[in-house]
Amino acid sequence: MTIPNSEDIMIPLLKFLKDGKNHRAADIANHLVSYFNLSEDERKQRKKSGDRLFRNRIDWARFYLRKAGLIMNPEKSQTKITSEGLKLLKQNHKKIDRGFLLRYPKFAAINNRRIRN
Contact 43, 54 (CB under 8 A): yes
Contact 4, 36 (CB under 8 A): yes
pTM of the shown model: 0.90
DSSP 36: T
Q: What's the rounded Cα separation, in Å, for the pair 10 and 100?
A: 11
pLDDT of residue 117: 37
**3-class DSSP state of 20:** coil
For the segment(s) 6-116, the CATH number from 1.10.3470, 1.10.10, 2.160.20, 1.10.155 is 1.10.10
DSSP 111: H
Q: Provide the residue ranges of all domains of the chain, joining segments of one domain with +.
A: 6-116
pLDDT tens digits for 69-84?
A: 999 999 888 999 999 9
The side-by-side arrangement of strands in the sheet containing 71-72 is 23-24, 78-81, 71-72
In this model, does residue 57 exceed pLDDT 90?
A: yes
